[in-house]
Amino acid sequence: MIVEDSASLAMSYAAQLTEAGHHVEVCGTGAEAASFFTGNQSFEVVLLDLQLPDANGLDLLKTYSDDLGETSVIVITADGSLTRAIDAMRLGAYDFLVKPVNSERLLTTVRNAAERGLLNREIKAVRSIRKKDRFQGFVGESTLMQAVYRSIENIADSNATVFITGESGTGKEVAADAIHKSGRRASGPFVALNCGAIPENLLESEIFGHVKGAFTGALENRIGAAKEADGGTLFLDEVCEMELKLQVKLLRFLQTGMIQRVGASRPEPVNVRVVCATNRNPALEVAEGRFREDLYYRLNVIPLELPPLRERGDDVQQIADFFVEKFSGEEGKEFERVSDESRRTISTHAWPGNVRELQNTIRRAIVMGSGPELEITIGAGPTASQASPADDTADIASHQTPGEPATDMFGHMTMMAIEQAVITQRIDKMGGNVTKAARSLDLSPSTLYRKMEKWN
C-alpha cells in the first residue's frame, strides 16, 4: 500500500514495485488510507507519507496501529521532517525513506520489510501452537510436531491430495483425521480404508463399489468407500500395497473425479479429498516398479512426513502419561506415579514401533500391574534384522510351564492361540511393521490384517 499525495511519486513507486513482483495499491489521502486500514484488506508493507493534505502521518500510525497488526510500515519523509520520522520509528514504524527515494533503496527496504512481517507472523503462529501440548488427536509439543501441526493447519482447507509417510505406528491415520477435522470438509464424512487389509480381488469393490450380480457373491449393490466419503475425505492407508492394475483405476479417479462401480455401465461423479499413507519409501517403490510413477506424482501433491517417536524428545513422556491416565481409567485401576526407573526406560528405549509400541507397552503394564507405583518393562529381543521363524518358537518355549517337555511347548493352546502368539511376536520384533512381519512369515499383509481384525 502506497499512501502518497503526489500522484507522480506514487505512480513512480508503484511502477518500480510492480516490476519487482509486488502487488500494489495506491491512495492519496489520509481518509482513503484509513478506509483501507479498517477494511478486510491486509498488506505486508505500507509506504506512508508523513505530510498528507488531510492528515498527519504520525496520527494515522497512532490511530490504526492495531488494525495494521503485523504489517510493516515504512514512513516517507522530506529532509526537514527527520525528527518526525524518528518519532514514527518509536511508534513502531519499520524504517524510513528520505525523498527523493533511490530506486534500489526503495526495493531493498520494501523487500526486507515484507520478510520481517512474514517472520513475525511465523513466530506468532509457532508460539500460539506451542501453547498446546495436544492437537487433533496428537500428544506432544516437540519442535518436530509443531511443524506437523502447522503443516496440517496450512493444508486443511485445500482440496489437493496429501501423501503421508512415516514409520509404522507414528500416527498416519491420526494425521489424516486431523487434516479432515481442521478443514472445511469437517462436517462431511471421513472414510478410512486399509489397502493392505483387504484381499486384492475385493479392493476395487471396497473403493469404488459394485452393482448387484457384478461377480460371484455380489448379492446387493454397494456404494464403496469413495462414494461413502462424498463431500468429505477418503483416507487410503498402505496405498503402496495396491496392485498395479488397480493403481490405474485410482489414477483415473483422481484425474476425473469420477468413479465407476464394478459391473456398472456409466461412471458417476464424487466430491472427495483423497489423503493416502504408507510406511514404505514410495520413491523406492516407484524405482523398483511396484508403484506407478504417474500415480505417485498425482498423490504426492502435498507430502507430509511424520517423525519417529525416538526423534521427538520429551514427547515420549507426555504420551506415556496420557496413556497411563487413559488406560488406568479404562481398566479401573489407580496409580499414584510411574516409577523413576520406568521413566528412564521410557526415555532411553528406541521405540522401533513408535507410538503404537508405547501404547501397547503402557496398556500391558497397567493390566498386569497394581498400585501405587506403576512399573513399565520393555521386553528385550532380537532386532528386526535378526528375527527368524525359529525365534518365535524359542520365545514361546521360554514361557512354558517348568518341567513341561520341550516337545509339548504349546501346552493346551488352541491353533488360533498359537498362531496369534507367533504373529504377535513377529510383529513386535519387526517394530510394529505388519508388512515386514508378513513377508518374514511368507504371508501377504492382507492375511495378517484379516487375522488381527478377527482377534479384535
User: What DSSP assignment string belongs to 108-172?
Assistant: HHHHHHHHHHHHHHHHHHHHHHHT-SEETTEE---HHHHHHHHHHHHHTT--S-EEEE--TTS-H
Residue 379 lies in a domain: no
| pLDDT tens digits, 19-65 | 999 999 999 998 888 888 887 567 889 999 988 888 888 888 888 88
Q: Give pLDDT tens digits for 372-382.
A: 899 998 864 33
Judge if 314 and 302 occupy the same domain: no
| Confidence tier at 158 by pLDDT (50, 70, 90) | very high
Domain shared by 204 and 296, yes or no: yes
C-alpha cell of residue 24 = 500494489
In terms of pLDDT, which residue wins out, 390 or 189? 189
Q: Is 200 found in the same domain as 68?
A: no
Q: What's the Cα-to-Cα distance from 404 to each of 394, 396, 399, rounded to whole Å?
A: 14, 13, 10
Examine the pLDDT at 411 and tell me if it is beyond 60.
Answer: no
Q: Are strands 162-165 and 138-139 parallel, antiparallel or unpaired?
A: unpaired
Mean pLDDT of the residues in the chain: 85
pLDDT at residue 201, as a whole number: 80
The pLDDT score that the predictor gives to residue 278 is 94
Do 343 and 276 lie in one domain? The reply is no
Pairing, β 2-3 against β 302-305: unpaired
Residues 47 and 103 in one domain: yes
Q: What percent of the chain has pLDDT over 70?
A: 88
List Cα–Cα distances, 388 to 25, 161, 391, 432, 441, in angstroms.
Answer: 69, 38, 5, 15, 9
- Model confidence at 131, in pLDDT bands (50, 70, 90)? low
Q: Which has the closest alpha carbon to 44: 77, 22, 20, 64?
A: 22
pLDDT value at residue 392:
47
DSSP for 66-116?
HHHTTPEEEEEE-GGGHHHHHHHHHTT--EEEESSPPHHHHHHHHHHHHHH
Per-residue pLDDT, averaged over 396-424, amounts to 61
pLDDT at 349: 93
Q: What is the DSSP letter of 421?
A: H
Q: Domain of 35: which CATH number?
A: 3.40.50.2300
**Residue located via cell numbers 464424512:** 189
398 pLDDT tier (thresholds 50, 70, 90) = very low
Q: What's the confidence (pLDDT) of residue 17?
A: 93
pLDDT for 437 beyond 90:
no
**How would residue 391 be classed by pLDDT, with cut points 50, 70 and 90?**
very low
Exposure string of 174-199, with b = 16+ CB inside 10 Å and e = fewer, is bbbbbbbbbbebeebebbbbbbbbbe
In this model, does residue 362 exceed pLDDT 60? yes
Question: What is the rounded average pLDDT of the residues 436-445?
Answer: 80
Quote the CA–CA distance of 48 and 52 in Å, as a whole number: 9
Give dist(CA 318, CA 97) in Å, integer: 51
Residues 112 and 16 in one domain: yes
Predicted pLDDT of residue 128: 60
C-alpha to C-alpha distance for 257 and 239, rounded to whole angstroms? 18
Domain count of the fold of the chain:
4
Query: What CATH number is attached to the domain comprising 254?
Result: 3.40.50.300
Whole-angstrom distance, CA of residue 309 vs CA of residue 357: 10
Domain span including residue 99: 2-126
Which pLDDT score is estimated for 379? 64
pLDDT in tens, 233-273: 999 999 999 999 999 999 999 999 999 998 888 899 999 99
- pLDDT for position 313: 93
pLDDT computed for residue 361 by the predictor? 93
**For residue 402, pLDDT beyond 50:** no
Model pLDDT, residue 428: 82
CATH of the domain at 349: 1.10.8.60
User: Would you state the pLDDT for residue 388?
Assistant: 40
Q: Are residues 138 and 122 in the same domain?
A: no
Which stretch of DSSP H or E encloses residue 61?
Answer: helix 57-63
Asked if 71 and 120 count as a contact pair (C-beta separation under 8 A), the reply is no
Regarding whether 291 and 152 lie in a shared domain, the answer is yes
Element (H, E) at 359: helix 354-368
pLDDT above 50 for 193: yes
pLDDT at 393: 46
Helix axes 244-256, 200-208, angle to 10 degrees: 10
219 CA to centre of own chain: 39
Pairing verdict, β 162-165 and 258-259: unpaired
The band of 399, judged by pLDDT with boundaries at 50, 70 and 90, is very low
- pLDDT reported for residue 65: 81
The model's pLDDT over 285-313, given as tens digits with 9 standing for 90+, comes to 998 899 999 999 999 999 999 999 999 99
Based on the domain organization, do 363 and 445 belong to the same domain?
no
**pTM of structure:** 0.59
For residues 53 and 118, state if they share a domain: yes
- The pLDDT of residue 273 is 96
Do 363 and 328 sit in the same domain of this protein?
yes
Tell me how far CA of residue 79 lies from CA of 6, 50, 98, in angstroms: 16, 12, 6
Q: Does the residue 264 lie in any domain?
A: yes
CB-based contact 320:360 (threshold 8 Å): no
Residues 368 and 408 in one domain: no
Q: Are 46 and 74 in contact (CB under 8 A)?
A: yes
How far CA 113 is from CA of 43, 74, 188, 442, in Å, comes to: 11, 8, 41, 61
Q: Which of 351, 374, 397 is the last residue of a domain?
A: 374
- 115 part of a folded domain: yes
At 347, the pLDDT band (50, 70, 90 cuts) reads: very high
105-134 average pLDDT score: 76
- Quickly count: other Cβ atoms within 10 Å of residue 229's Cβ: 25
The length of the chain in residues reads: 456
Asked if pLDDT for residue 395 goes beyond 80, the answer is: no
Residue showing cell 504420551 = 319
The span from the CA of 317 to the CA of 345, in Å, is 10
Nearest to 308 by CA among 168, 430, 139: 168
Q: Is 380 among the domain residues?
A: no
Closest by alpha carbon to 443, among 249, 175, 98, 199? 199
